[in-house]
């Protein structure tokens, strides 16, 4: 599986657990399949109870992600020694909640790290960039945080990190409109980020239609089809050192019998 790794720069004031690395640029790195949607980022998701590591790349940058993802990166020659990750620190997601980030192409700056409880440990980097206009999971989770003050309080999230951020229309999808995830969450009557089955259906609908029929509404490739610009936008971000390609081995276990 090929992902685009989006380098989301941590801004001052740095969270306490990252202050020791302030002499180098620090990035939370998010794995995405939709680089063309980066215009619509409103926040970054972390899982509060999950372990993340801090490590240095061979380009003198500090990355934060799961150890599993860092090891994959080291095999892709992103660390000094192939297959080896020098762990500077292990931290919990909750220790970097509420951090301010600058993320490539985003129309909001800064955006903040917020809690999402459904992040999977064995996929991507454990850091997820949020595009509520086009991702039902992101819309449902952002809406939960907006509607539930106790949820914000529980994680020490200030109102101004959540309330001003609205889904940004970035892709027009025939029949689904320019906020396809919002449309899909309404249509499938999704109540919260825990409506897993309905969210899966919603995701399938917007993924397919968005990819084949979606037209970009913003940026230099405005008016072009998503399927024609996805690779171009990925390449532009890589050339601007805002992103890198990240591969993940399929986790099929090959077993032989007989």
Residues that bind ligand ZZB (CB under 6 A): 31-34, 37, 119-120, 123-124, 126, 128-129, 131, 134-135, 203, 206-207
Preceding peptide of 110 cis, ω within 30°? yes
Q: Which is nearer to ligand ZZB, 21 or 126 (CB)?
A: 126
Q: Which residues pair with 114 in a beta bridge?
A: 45
Q: Which residues pair with 28 in a beta bridge?
A: 8, 64
- Tell me how far, at minimum, the Cβ of 51 lies from ligand ZZB, in Å: 13
Q: Are 72 and 129 in contact (CB under 8 A)?
A: no
Q: Which is nearer to ligand ZZB, 21 or 172 (CB)?
A: 172
In angstroms, rounded to a whole number, what is the distance separating the alpha carbons of residues 76 and 160? Answer: 38
- Tell me how far, at minimum, the Cβ of 116 lies from ligand ZZB, in Å: 8
Q: Which is nearer to ligand ZZB, 33 or 240 (CB)?
A: 33
- Tell me how far, at minimum, the Cβ of 138 lies from ligand ZZB, in Å: 7
Q: Which is nearer to ligand ZZB, 101 or 128 (CB)?
A: 128
CB atoms within 10 A of CB 252: 6
175 in helix, strand or coil?
A: coil
- Tell me how far, at minimum, the Cβ of 134 lies from ligand ZZB, in Å: 3
- Tell me how far, at minimum, the Cβ of 201 lies from ligand ZZB, in Å: 11
In angstroms, rounded to a whole number, what is the distance separating the alpha carbons of residues 170 and 36? Answer: 9
- Tell me how far, at minimum, the Cβ of 205 lies from ligand ZZB, in Å: 8
Q: Which is nearer to ligand ZZB, 21 or 243 (CB)?
A: 243
In angstroms, rounded to a whole number, what is the distance separating the alpha carbons of residues 65 and 198? Answer: 28
Q: What tokens does 144 get?
A: 């939960």
Preceding peptide of 13 cis, ω within 30°? yes
Q: Which is nearer to ligand ZZB, 17 or 50 (CB)?
A: 50
In angstroms, rounded to a whole number, what is the distance separating the alpha carbons of residues 138 and 151? Answer: 16
In angstroms, rounded to a whole number, what is the distance separating the alpha carbons of residues 244 and 235? Answer: 9
């Amino acid at each position: 599986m090929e992902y685009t790794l989006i380098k989301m720069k941590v801004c001052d004031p740095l969270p306490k657990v990252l202050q020791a690395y302030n002499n180098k640029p620090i990035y939370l790195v998010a794995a995405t399949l939709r680089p063309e949607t980066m215009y619509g980022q409103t926040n970054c998701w972390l899982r509060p109870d999950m372990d993340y590591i801090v490590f240095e790349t061979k380009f003198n940058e500090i990355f934060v992600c799961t150890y599993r993802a860092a090891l994959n990166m080291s095999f892709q020659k992103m660390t000094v020694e192939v297959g080896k990750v020098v762990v500077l620190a292990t931290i919990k997601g909750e220790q970097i909640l509420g951090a301010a980030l600058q993320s490539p192409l985003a129309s909001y700056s800064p955006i903040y790290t917020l809690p999402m409880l459904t992040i999977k440990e064995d996929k991507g980097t454990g850091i997820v960039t949020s595009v509520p206009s086009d991702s039902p999971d992101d819309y449902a989770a952002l809406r939960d945080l907006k509607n539930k003050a106790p949820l914000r309080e529980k994680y020490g999230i200030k109102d101004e990190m959540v309330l001003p951020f609205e889904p940004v229309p970035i892709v027009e999808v025939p029949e689904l409109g320019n906020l396809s995830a919002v449309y899909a969450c309404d249509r499938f009557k999704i109540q919260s980020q825990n409506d897993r089955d309905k969210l899966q259906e919603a995701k399938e609908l917007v993924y397919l239609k968005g990819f084949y029929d979606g037209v970009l509404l913003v940026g230099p490739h405005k008016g072009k089809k998503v399927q024609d610009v996805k690779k171009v936008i990925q390449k532009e971000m890589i050339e601007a050192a805002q992103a890198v390609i990240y591969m993940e081995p399929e986790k099929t276990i090959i077993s032989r019998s007989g």
